[in-house]
Amino acid sequence: LDEMKAMTLEEIIELLPARPRRSFIRGIDDERYRFIEKLRANGTETAVRTHCRDVPILPDFIGKKVAIHNGKEFVTVEIKPEMIGHFIGEFAMTRKAVTHSGPGVGATRSSKFMPLK
């Protein structure tokens, strides 16, 4: 891990999987560059809020907190070493699992004998 932090950005890009590597090769736009710079300058106590979900996680981000927008709210995630190479958006789910309750009144003929709430 310390070896990775000492590497240059070009050396780190060589180690990334294909999709994040390609996003760096194509270039980073201003919004993502500002987020990376803000995260590098920030300490570990406060989370950096962002809507950019397609930023690959670099070794510089380890131990930092990121508040990722999932479409409704910001989800705070602490970056761990095993997250390197993944996109930050992978750790803030945009959809929640559906939890169905019991059948309602008039749902089917068989459910009309079920006790009401």
Segment 40-72, tens digit of pLDDT: 888 778 899 999 999 999 888 889 999 999 999
Quickly state the pLDDT bin for 27 (edges 50, 70, 90): confident
What DSSP string runs through the chain? -HHHHHS-HHHHHHHS-HHHHHHHHH---HHHHHHHHHHHHS-SSSEEEE----PBP-GGGTT-EEEEE-SSSEEEEE--GGGTTSBGGGGS-SS------S--TTS-SGGGGSPP-
Domains observed in the chain = 2-94 (3.30.860.10)
Which of the residue ranges 10-14, 53-57, 75-79, 110-114 would you say has the lowest mean pLDDT? 110-114
Whether residue 117 is predicted with pLDDT greater than 90 in this model: the reply is no
Model's pTM, two decimal places?
A: 0.75
pLDDT of residue 49: 93
pLDDT of residue 50: 92
